[in-house]
Amino acid sequence: MMILRLVLATLLFSAAAQAAEYSIPSGRTPATGTWSGAGIPGGIPVRNTIYTTITTTGDSTDRTAEIEAALSACPNGEVVLLGPGTFRCNSTVDIPFSKQVTLRGSVDANGVPTTIIDTRATAYYGILFTNFAFTSGNSTATVASLTKGATSITVASTASFTAGEIVRVRIGDTADPMTWASGPNVNNRGQVAKIATSGGIPNGTTLVLDSPGLHGDYSGAPSAFVESMALKTSNCGIENLIIDCSNTDIFAGVGLQSAYNSWVYNVRVIDYYNYGIYISGTLQCEVRRCWFEYQNGYATSTVGMLTDSSSQNLIIDNVFKGTIFAFFTQGFVSGDVVAYNAIVTDRPDLSPARYYSLMNSNHATFNQFILFEGNVAPQYKNDGFFGGTAYTSVFRNWLYGLELAQTGFGHGAVMNRFSRYENLVGNVMGHGTGGTGVSMGNPNINNGSSNGVASMFGTKSTLTTRTSATAGTITAPSGHGITTGATIDIYWMEVIATYNTARIRRGVTVGTVSGTSIPFSGGAGDDLPAQGEEVLVPTSDDTLWAYSLDWDSANQRPMRWTGTLTTRTSGSAGVITLGGGQVTSFSAALANTSYSGYTNERGLGWSGGAINSVLVTNVTGDEITISNTSGTDLPALSTAVTFYPSYPGFEELDLDVIYTTLLKGNYYHQPSDSGIPAVESLGGDTLANSLFLSSTPQFFTDAGMTWPPVSTGTPPNTSYEIIPAGSAYIDGYWPTAGGGGGTTATVSGTTTVTGTLTPP
């Protein structure tokens, strides 16, 4: 078993320590320091006026057109009510983007929806809020104006924008943090924002955004531009519905797209094929008190909720039951909050059940500044498949690792390659005595092995002597820069249960340095590993850094190998001739595969098209023979093409994950010595109750539950029923302080509203 070390030189500053509330460093959080701007300002509106009530016919009549006509005729701020029973809809029910209306179903005494949408749609969605599109105009932005918290940004021209519209700010790719490693496209980082309704366009080159402005500092990016949303739904919602997808294989039960201040409340999506709900191109929307259960298909990417190109959404108080993956973020997501959700595998047909139903912060292009708080879930993960994520905060969750009936080791958090500057603070990990840990740096979701190491912050050395669990000698390369008497931190990753698990020893004192020999001793944290293992030492000399064979250090981007399709045997096979001098680096990167499923694979792109992975079957001189089973045809003969790493690339162990991760105040269930490791101790400091709420949320008060639910005390309180959604999973409905079902309110003489729609 190989244990890899990352030794980081640091300076210690002494100061009088006083008990205080621990704060995540400001560079790792949004501009305001909290996520209080997530969700609909003021909460989901309570609408009391019923425009019309539609009752079920009890037969197979298609009700789509009738429901859509009622929504189109409904005055803004009013409700189209569906009575109890089943409504068959042979097509997608479209929520009109030009209106501000609510589609509401009926509920029973426990608040469980009794209105069923039996969707038989054949295209994409059961219910759809608009179609996602950022196409109506764009303008190059001046990157110097894109500072953290900025609300005024400079663009080449404001001619294509209007005050009050939704825009997406797209930022050029960077090396640190790594944004996108899987294709030839650029500008894979950004956020969605709103141009101020009043004073949003003061002149021909300035856009003024609503607060909180830009979440991060992009002033050093290589490029940026702003694009506007073609269509927008605003202030619309669906409530109290069961969407039954068992009779169709559509893309998602609900499509919440191109939407602002819109919501999905008390909706149950069942038996879906791909996604329960797909959220894309949205700003400050909410999904609250919903239930996503099972799939009638078992594709590897089936997900309860998929978010994409969205910002400051609030995903709160939901149940994800039996879904293969509970929550995925795709790309361009920034500032979202995922909080107090119960995520349970509950699928005896899935093996192994332990790592399904996880919360995934990234599966495609770059995401940032997402908060996961107060969830009960098997695992938090950044899967590292296509791209990276940064500045995610995982705060006060119970990440149980294994289903409660299982025993053995289960990682509570897995952060694969390209995870940067993540914050894991105040979580409880694991349960019982099976053991748990934090896995870091694996190549991607399908690959727990690696071939070599990669780091932008250090280079390989060796732990040549281990005199004790707290002392030894490192042999480093010349130019290491570590001096006698310095204090260093030692980070390493140890393979446990096929994944690299984080280990840390801080505050180690360096003895008398002699050339490349660095003796050290002391510190606090984990025991040192075995003698002879590889280590990494940071250095200011970037010529010593050892990064991936798939990284172009000269241009600070993933490698690109350009050529021409010189033979086209068919749409799925041909020969590409590389330009001179590229085949050596191409072959070296191609051979560096640690996962048999990706052997000899590369991505391929051309003007107007791309294939994520093609198989290289032969390399002769500069001629690369390929085959392709993706279903996308190769381009025409003589087309200029580019190979790129894609997901089969970057197969080294990414040690920069542990270098940049903040671990603080986490409680680990272990076979012995369960608790918070000394190296993660808060000292006399305390944790904030929340990173986005200022007081106890109403739905905890209604349920009579303690808040915050996750505490790292000894022993910590670990149960599904520490949050209302967990209790709902057990009982089938959300609790109230009196122990019964959801609270009800009378609306225009009809009991239709369940629970509270006030802000948390």
Predicted confidence (pLDDT) per residue in 303-359, tens digit: 899 999 999 999 999 999 988 788 888 888 999 999 999 998 776 665 554 456 789
pLDDT for the residue 345: 77
Using one digit for the tens of pLDDT, what is the confidence trace for 209-243? 999 999 999 998 888 999 988 778 999 999 999 99
Mean pLDDT of 438-444: 86
Task: Please report, as a single letter, which amino acid is at residue 328.
Answer: F
Model confidence at 714, pLDDT cuts 50, 70, 90, reads confident
Q: Work out the angle at residue 581's Cα, subtended by the Cα atoms of residues 580 and 586, and round it to the nearest 5 degrees.
A: 110
* Mean pLDDT value across the chain: 86
Using one digit for the tens of pLDDT, what is the confidence trace for 397-437? 999 887 666 667 778 999 999 999 999 999 999 887 677 88
- Would you say residue 469 has pLDDT above 50? yes
List beta partners, residue 611.
604
Mean pLDDT of 41-54: 96
β-bridge pairing 458-468 and 4-10? unpaired
Six token digits for residue 571: 């749409």
Whole-angstrom Cα distance, residue 80 to residue 68?
Answer: 10
- Would you say residue 749 has pLDDT above 70? no
Q: Assign residue 735 a region (left: φ > 0; alpha: ψ between -120 and 50; beta: otherwise).
A: beta
| Contact (Cβ atoms closer than 8 angstroms) between residue 275 and residue 55 | no
Using one digit for the tens of pLDDT, what is the confidence trace for 382-397? 988 888 899 999 999 9
Mean pLDDT of 746-758: 30
Encode 404-423 in three state secondary structure: CCCCCCCCCEEECCCEECCE
Using one digit for the tens of pLDDT, what is the confidence trace for 550-591? 888 788 788 999 999 999 999 999 999 999 899 999 999 999
pLDDT for the residue 537: 66
pLDDT for the residue 497: 65
pLDDT for the residue 1: 35
pLDDT for the residue 113: 98
Using one digit for the tens of pLDDT, what is the confidence trace for 252-290? 999 999 999 999 999 999 999 889 999 999 999 999 999
pLDDT for the residue 449: 75
- pTM of structure: 0.91
Stronger pLDDT, 180 or 12, i.e. the higher one: 180
pLDDT for the residue 744: 30
Ordered by start, the domain boundaries in the chain are 4-15+450-549, 45-132+237-301, 134-230, 560-644
Task: Please report, as a single letter, which amino acid is at residue 156.
Answer: A
Mean pLDDT of 606-619: 92
β-bridge pairing 189-194 and 166-171? antiparallel
- Would you say residue 180 has pLDDT above 80? no
pLDDT for the residue 741: 36
Mean pLDDT of 528-545: 72
- Would you say residue 112 has pLDDT above 60? yes
Contacts of 258 (CB under 8 A, 6+ apart): 97, 129, 130, 131, 132, 133, 166, 229, 230, 231, 232, 233, 280, 281, 282
Mean pLDDT of 512-523: 94
pLDDT for the residue 441: 87
Six token digits for residue 105: 């179903």
Six token digits for residue 500: 């690299």
Query: 509 phi and psi, to 5 degrees?
Result: -95, 130
Whole-angstrom Cα distance, residue 641 to residue 267?
Answer: 46
- 115-124, 423-432, 438-447: lowest mean pLDDT where? 438-447
- Would you say residue 78 has pLDDT above 80? yes
- 27-31, 130-134, 562-566, 655-659: lowest mean pLDDT where? 130-134
pLDDT for the residue 721: 94
b/e burial code for range 56-75 (CB count within 10 A of at least 16 → b): beeeeeebbeebbebbeebe
pLDDT above 70 coverage of the chain, percent: 88
pLDDT for the residue 747: 27
Model confidence at 525, pLDDT cuts 50, 70, 90, reads confident
Considering only CA atoms, give the Rg of the chain.
27
* Three-state secondary structure call for residue 108: coil
Whole-angstrom Cα distance, residue 298 to residue 67?
Answer: 31
